[in-house]
Structure 1
Amino acid sequence: MFILSIIAQVLGYVIYACCKNISQYMAAGIFEAIGSTGYALTQQVFVADVTNLVNRGIWSTLPDSLTTIPTLYLGTIVAQDILDHSTWRWGWGMWAIVLPVAAAPLVGSMVLYQHRSPRRVRISTALGWKSEDPWWRRVYDLLWIQLDLPGAVLLLLGLSLFLIPLSLTGSGNSGAWQHNGSFIAMLVMGVVFVIAFLAWDAWFAKKPFVPYRMIRNRTVAAACLLGALDFFHYSVFTVFFTSYLQVAGHFEAGNATRIDNSLRVAFQVAGIFASLFMKYTRRSQIWVLGGVPLCVLGMGIVLYLVDMGNGKTGSEAAFVTAKSLIGIGRGFYQTAAQVSVQAVVSRQEVSVVTAVFFASMSVGGAIGTSVAGAIWRSTLPKKLEQYLPDALKPQAHTIFSSIVVAKKYQPGTAARDAIDRSYRESQRLLAIAALAALAPMLIVMFFLRNVHLDARDEEEATSETPVEKGHEDVQAGKTATATSSPAGAENGHRIEQ
């Protein structure tokens, strides 16, 4: 799956580089989305499969942290060099070369250790197939029962039809709800398919794609709700934040980008510390309880900085500090929440629960983007028409449509003061919506179990059963597994069910 994800991303980059119309660009986006999602998910599942819970936070955080922190800044330099000395096609196309080359060592490691693995289980043995079973029965059992293909299709259709109209209306086309009935139809059908999925998995599926007990589990439900609310808050505030900073805050584009990136940098750094804290405290919930209030505090400060009164906004240092608080809080709660949801399900369900956790964030982010677009498009034009001098009122739509036009008016003039005020008040509404989304997290966070990570590791080690005989018999395998320590299990002595 990791190799297939790399191939999908490479195809996306190639199509991006060669595209000549919007249809080809959208096709490239689909391949890139499939590849990047598969890449992230297989990476996290791979980490979860070879680590114990005590160390999982560290290893699940390190790959992103070690790469994201420098690239958030180095990426802007590379992008500028591409624009200055090459073409945008190579800006996409070069990654079709870089990505597979960079992934080759990890792919090679996977292939090598899979080949060296002393215990191999035939799929037919693991699934309980008999040698006399016809091929069509095996296919039916694999797709219909083991993988729950109907449930997977219903879930994919439901999420797709629910998210597509939200994404297409988004920040720049929120008025489409009034003119395009197909968006409403897709949204309704998406809800119907999600309900059908829940009914299928609850009453009809023999081995549900998302087991009902997983959805009913309060830790899983609470973690997913935390992720959805957080990403709603992030999307609803951030979509127009850099535009606000450049117009009302009078920051250069580079400074505005660095302010916005401060949250991501703080998130990655805090994730490493949270995982280290979990390793030595052996607890998860305490870091959720510490992280969520920091998110709320940081967003409250941002709300104040957006419009401080008397035409004032926060300084770069103030915005960076407030956004960093949000990033630290997110790093703490999200790292701990991900480990928690993986700890309360069986190892066979880790991939599914991780995907559900990530999907909840995507749903919250898509809804937040659409809400932000609706608020911005319905608020900023009206405020521009209200505050602009009479001679410039006819230019309100042009100013609304382009921050380049808005920035042409000199600071201190009546026109620029009116534009700045309109941007401040519009962004303040988005900040209020973001803070309102974060507030319920202060209650939801208490529903996560305080997982004892070391106890869960010992429980997994003693409950796993060998799948085939090794040098000794089955009972010897059980004894070896039961007596192995979590550290030993991490080094390869763990026997999977």
Structure 2
Amino acid sequence: MSSHDDTPTEASTYPEKEPGTISEKDNESDGIEHVRPANDDAVDTNFQAGVQNIEAVTVTWSMTWLVIAYALIWIIYFIQGLVSGVTGALLPYVTSAFALHSLTPTVGILSAVIGGVTNLSIAKILDIFGRPQGFVFCIVLTVLGLIMSAACNNVEAYAASQVFYTVGINGIGYSLSVFVADTSSLRNRGLMQAFAASPNLITCWLAGPISTSFLDGAGWRWAFGMFCIIVPVVTLPLFGLFQYQYSRAKKAGVISKRESGRTTCQSIVYYTREFDALGLFLISAGVAFFLLPFNLYYQQAKGWRSALIISFLVVGILLLIAFVVWEAFFASISFFPFALLRDRTVLGAGILSFTLFISNSCWALYFSSVLQVVFDLSVTHVSYVVQIQTVGSVLTSLAGGAVISYTGRYKPISLYFGVPITALGMGLLIYFRHPDQSIGYIVMCQIFISFASGVLIITDEIAIMAAAVEQQYFAVSIAVLGCFGSIGSAIGLTISSTIWQDILPKKLALYLPAEELPNLVMIYGDLTTQLSYPPGSPTRLAIQHAYGDAQKLLVIAGTAVWVLGFLAVFMWRDIKVTGIKQTKGTVA
């Protein structure tokens, strides 16, 4: 950690500058783009209030407070990983409790879409009102979603709770990413992000036993209830720290008091315009209406010819067209930063995030069910296999962050290691996912994928922030990645759900013994019923065979999209991050 980044930088006027002009080649011989910086540690009053506030904090606080802040961030990441791991392990049992196990992806689609696009609105809160204010807003949403999950009585109520929970828990992680970006130099940012996420090395081993203990004891509702209490207790101290440091900076005169001069009505109009409320509604509703029919068509008697399905598709397409028209011609302040995407590095980073999430979502959501039904693993052992990806990605993100900090370059390790190894792991998984294969081969593929994804997650974020240059674009840059990732996740879940709901019942009808065909609907819809048949029995073998056929198509889909991953990294400019100063004051 260092109190100041010694390299000076010149203020950027992005996005007014044309793409590619945010940096200049100071050394033509190495073919790497270097940015010429400037050395000004004063709070930039041209930035939005939230950015000015965090600059005031980093300019005035000490190294001790920086260390305390990172300790609190580490603890919050620990709890976030625990909450995500446990709720993810419980998801198939929640949907199965309502005999709708096949709807596991559908539950996540709406929340994934809304969770992605609302990060752009949260970015607005972080920039306009302040980092702590946006953070506490996400805490409230998370707790509300957990309370709703604990009290739900049907899968529709659970899906509604997941919208609040997903927006909130993803928003907490997103806010922490912005905190880390605000308090670290670009050179060390990958390493600090990896350090902040390192609690996953511990939580991944705890989620399974905790889930098992609740399923065997008090029940899954009490798991959600427990986290309703833990989340605010752990997260609110960081909010208090930043608020305290801001008040100190304000008393020191680093930042002056602001008066808007607006009335209440004028403020409502102002913030509605700033947040582009109509744009947010159009894109959220449009993507949701467009994707949901792919998950709901099989429930309709007429399938794709159903009036409901056709209406959803038409309304979704019209809303998406309306969003583009609104943003292009009528929005005074654009909800989505299209100007940012003129930079090919920014666009490439978004496409890579899209690829990562669509690939993972194509196969990962049914993975725990596959491990239980096909390989006969317990919930605890399933969590161990699933969390291999977490452990591997954390370890390699730490290594990747250290490489970037030392070399200043992020593109080569993505192009020559991250993308090829991911494609290799996914390709091998196509073959080794069959029921007659050893679980060891599945673990091997998981290791390949995890090592590569850890590098890509870090380099993707560094790429977009290196291109965006100024601190005022940190929040929106990370939100853009989140938006691309969430749309990719929603599409991946749609692909997963469509294939699963089409292939699995057909294969079950083909493979099940004749005496079990009357139970086909219950077997298809309930994980507990599937597990009730002993391993080696004709019915269990039939279910495993059907699972294998469906999973093969899911993994093929998840592998094919990596063509986009190669293209995305090729689009990046090779910016050398050691020459860029974006943050001020005492930073890591």
The two structures share one fold, judged by TM-score above 0.5: yes
Q: 1:274 to 1:490 in 2, by over 3 A?
A: farther
Q: 1:358 to 1:108 in 2, by over 3 A?
A: same
Would you say 1:110 and 2:242 are equivalent positions?
Answer: yes
CA distance in 2: counterparts of 1:47 and 1:166, whole angstroms: 34
Q: Residue 321 of structure 1 corresponds to which residue in structure 2?
A: 444
**Counterpart selection for 2:339 from 207, 213, 230:** 213
Q: Residue 198 of structure 2 corresponds to which residue in structure 1?
A: 65
Check conservation: 2:370, 2:547, Cα contact below 8 A: yes
Q: Residue 238 of structure 1 corresponds to which residue in structure 2?
A: 364
* Cα offsets for 1:249-290 (capped at 9, x unmatched): 333333333222211222222222222221111112123212
Check conservation: 2:279, 2:335, Cα contact below 8 A: no
- Tell me the amino acid that sits aligned with residue 572 of structure 2: L
- Tell me the amino acid that sits aligned with residue 433 of structure 2: V
* Cα offsets for 1:374-420 (capped at 9, x unmatched): 21222222223333455555554444334444445555555544433
Q: 1:375 to 1:280 in 2, by over 3 A?
A: same
Q: Residue 178 of structure 2 corresponds to which residue in structure 1?
A: 45
Give 1:373 shift. 1.8
- What root-mean-square deviation, in Å, do the aligned CA atoms of Structure 1 and Structure 2 show? 3.1
**Counterpart selection for 2:577 from 453, 469, 474:** 453
- Tell me the amino acid that sits aligned with residue 422 of structure 1: A
Would you say 1:282 and 2:415 are equivalent positions?
Answer: no
* Cα offsets for 1:417-461 (capped at 9, x unmatched): 44333222221111111111223322322112222112232xx47
Q: Residue 282 of structure 2 corresponds to which residue in structure 1?
A: 157
Q: Residue 323 of structure 2 corresponds to which residue in structure 1?
A: 197
- Which stretch of the first structure deviates more once superposed, 356-365 or 339-348? 339-348
Check conservation: 2:396, 2:451, Cα contact below 8 A: yes
Q: 1:49 to 1:413 in 2, by over 3 A?
A: closer
Q: Where does structure 1 lack aligned partners over 5 or more consecutive residues? A: 462-488
> How is 1:387-426 mapped onto 2 (pairs within 5 angstroms)?
387-412=511-536, 414-426=538-550
* Cα offsets for 1:128-161 (capped at 9, x unmatched): x7x7x877667655543xx2x43x5313431333
Q: Residue 374 of structure 2 corresponds to which residue in structure 1?
A: 248
CA distance in 1: counterparts of 2:201 and 2:380, whole angstroms: 16
* Cα offsets for 1:337-357 (capped at 9, x unmatched): 112112212322221221121
Check conservation: 2:205, 2:383, Cα contact below 8 A: no
Aligned length, in residue pairs: 448
Give 1:214 shift. 1.0
Give 1:326 shift. 0.8
CA distance in 2: counterparts of 1:157 and 1:204, whole angstroms: 13
**Counterpart selection for 2:165 from 32, 38, 42:** 32
Report the TM-score when normalising by structure 1. Answer: 0.80
**Counterpart selection for 1:81 from 192, 209, 213:** 213
Would you say 1:375 and 2:499 are equivalent positions?
Answer: yes
Q: 1:318 to 1:167 in 2, by over 3 A?
A: same
CA distance in 2: counterparts of 1:89 and 1:396, whole angstroms: 28
Q: Residue 141 of structure 2 corresponds to which residue in structure 1?
A: 8
Would you say 1:431 and 2:555 are equivalent positions?
Answer: yes
Check conservation: 2:142, 2:168, Cα contact below 8 A: yes
- Which stretch of the first structure deviates more once superposed, 290-299 or 256-265? 256-265
- Tell me the amino acid that sits aligned with residue 294 of structure 1: I
Would you say 1:120 and 2:255 are equivalent positions?
Answer: yes
Q: Residue 425 of structure 2 corresponds to which residue in structure 1?
A: 298
Q: Residue 96 of structure 1 corresponds to which residue in structure 2?
A: 228
- Tell me the amino acid that sits aligned with residue 259 of structure 1: V
Check conservation: 2:212, 2:380, Cα contact below 8 A: no
Percentage of identical aligned residues: 27
CA distance in 1: counterparts of 2:140 and 2:521, whole angstroms: 44
Q: 1:201 to 1:384 in 2, by over 3 A?
A: closer
Give 1:85 shift. 4.9
Q: Residue 365 of structure 1 corresponds to which residue in structure 2?
A: 489
CA distance in 1: counterparts of 2:236 and 2:482, whole angstroms: 26
- Tell me the amino acid that sits aligned with residue 271 of structure 1: S
Give 1:9 shift. 2.0
* Cα offsets for 1:279-312 (capped at 9, x unmatched): 11111212321211111011111112113xxx62
SS for the counterpart of 1:65 is: coil
SS for the counterpart of 2:573 is: coil
- Tell me the amino acid that sits aligned with residue 491 of structure 1: T
Check conservation: 1:158, 1:191, Cα contact below 8 A: no
Check conservation: 1:232, 1:365, Cα contact below 8 A: yes
Check conservation: 2:293, 2:313, Cα contact below 8 A: no
- Tell me the amino acid that sits aligned with residue 343 of structure 1: A
Give 1:220 shift. 1.8
Q: Where does structure 2 lack aligned partners over 5 or more consecutive residues? A: 1-133
SS for the counterpart of 1:312 is: coil
Q: 1:407 to 1:241 in 2, by over 3 A?
A: same
Check conservation: 1:158, 1:192, Cα contact below 8 A: no
SS for the counterpart of 1:163 is: helix
- Which stretch of the first structure deviates more once superposed, 158-167 or 272-281? 158-167
Would you say 1:444 and 2:568 are equivalent positions?
Answer: yes
Specify which structure has the bigger relative contact order, considering alpha-carbon pairs within 8 angstroms and separated by 6 or more residues.
2
Check conservation: 1:169, 1:370, Cα contact below 8 A: yes
Check conservation: 1:288, 1:334, Cα contact below 8 A: no
CA distance in 2: counterparts of 1:278 and 1:267, whole angstroms: 16
Max Rg structure: 1
> How is 1:324-335 mapped onto 2 (pairs within 5 angstroms)?
324-335=447-458
* Cα offsets for 1:182-222 (capped at 9, x unmatched): 45434443443444333444444454333332122212222
